[in-house]
Structure 1
Amino acid sequence: MKILLVEDDALHVAYLEEQVARALPEAKSIIVAGDGAEAEDLARQPDVGGVVMDLQMKRRNGIEAARTIWSERPHTRILFWSNYADEAYLRGIARIVPEDCAYGYVLKTVSSERLHLALRSVLVLGQITIDREMHRIQARGSEAGSSLTDSEYAVLLDLALGFPDKEIALRQGVSLRTVQNRLLSLYDKLAVDVDENEELANGVNKRVRAVLRALLTRTLNIESLESAERTRLGR
């Protein structure tokens, strides 16, 4: 099995090479891509069975690269590792991962022992592995009951892309009333505190405030918006 490492930081590459060699003695070789675009090319090499993927890179991010790799080779096992425990990243991965495909997500701050476990769980055993530290960080950063449903998150993405309610309804295949109800739920969960009087008197736009709150709470991030925009453009 050939392992592809996708990372644009030289120190992280050296660390990953060492840890993969220790954790996966069955790996025949390790190859390295410096960004997502290069990763898409190298993933087409024969015998690439596993990928360790950074998420934030200057040229083509990890989610976009993973989407291309999975579209061509849906059984490729990918372990994402990142500095960030963003809800947007987890949702972005969940939207593109093929059915029955093994993948994982760990933070770069995990111990070498836990990284070894994640590497073997995903790339050898074919399991889905989300590091527990991510769940702890997310729990500290959000209030109970504030998590968006998948349907609410889809409306939030369309809202961020600038679509009006009627177009969102068409895109989501639901009624206009359903979209409006989901927007009200979004405003509540994202703590968009703008009443009707303030909206009318001061011109405060509740929709823009919702997107701002989503970015501040890292419910959305730049990578998730870039991915949604590329999907809209059919790229």
Structure 2
Amino acid sequence: MRVLIVEDDQFHASYLQDAISDTLPEVTETLHATDGARGEAEGRTGGFEAVVMDLQLPRRNGIEAARTIWQERPGTRILFWSNYADEAYLRGISRIVPDDSAYGYVIKTSSRERLVLALRAVLVEGQIMVDRQLHSLSRRTDPPDNALNDSEYAVLVDLALGLPDKLIAERRNMSLRTVQNRLLSLYDKLGVGDCTPAPALNKRVGALNRALRTRILNVETLNAAQVDLDRWLDERAHGD
């Protein structure tokens, strides 16, 4: 089995290589890519069965690199690892992972034992494994009653990209009334509803501010969302 490590920090890359060589005898070769663009290129053409992918990378972020790899090689097993337990990352990954593909998400501060468990589960056994730290953080910052559903999250992303309500409705195949109802719901869940003290603040800006501060959105996922939007706008302009 050949494994590609995509990590710009040499210390973390060496740590991963040591963990793989010490505990995964199935792995016969590892290659280290130091940025997202090279990692994407190697993942597409290098014949690697599995990838360990950092999320914050120079030249191309991990979600975008993984998206391209999966588009061309959907059977690739990818373990993401990051310093951050962001809900935005997990949502971003869930939107691009092919059906029945193995993937995982582990926090860099996890113990070596936890890392090894994730490496074996995802890379060798083809399981789906998400670090429990991510789930525990999500439960603390977003109680179940206030968690955004997929429809509300889609509207929030389009709001963050600057789309007006009518264009959100067209893109998401919703009625204008449905979009406005989703906005009212996410304002309430994010705590930027009618209780905002006078003078009233811009709720759209307030929702974006809250989403960024609570890591429901982050820069990397917005960059990936912008790529999707640009593609959609191009198809719309050409009538496809």
Is this a same-fold pair by TM over 0.5? Answer: yes
Uncovered stretches (5+) of structure 2, i.e. residues with no partner: 235-240
Letter aligned with residue 9 of structure 1: D
Residue number among 221, 225, 229 corresponding to 2:222 in the alignment: 225
Comparing 16-25 and 137-146, the one that deviates more: 137-146
The Cα shift of 1:111 comes to 1.0
> C-alpha deviations, 1:37-70, integer Å up to 9, x for none?
0101111344300000000112211001000100
Identity %: 59
TM alignment of 1:95-134, pairs within 5 A: 95-134=95-134
Q: Taking structure 2 as the reference length, what is the TM-score of the superposition?
A: 0.92
> C-alpha deviations, 1:115-158, integer Å up to 9, x for none?
11111111111110011122112222223411110110000011
Equivalent residue for 1:206? 203
Contact 1:23–1:119 (8 Å) recurs in 2: no
TM alignment of 1:28-177, pairs within 5 A: 28-177=28-177
Equivalent residue for 1:188? 188
3-state SS of 1:65 partner: helix
Equivalent residue for 1:216? 213
3-state SS of 2:145 partner: coil
Q: How many matched pairs?
A: 232
Letter aligned with residue 226 of structure 1: N
The Cα shift of 1:203 comes to 6.3
Uncovered stretches (5+) of structure 1, i.e. residues with no partner: none
Contact 1:21–1:27 (8 Å) recurs in 2: yes
The Cα shift of 1:26 comes to 1.1
Letter aligned with residue 192 of structure 1: V
Q: Taking structure 1 as the reference length, what is the TM-score of the superposition?
A: 0.94
Equivalent residue for 2:237? none
Letter aligned with residue 78 of structure 1: I
Letter aligned with residue 66 of structure 1: A
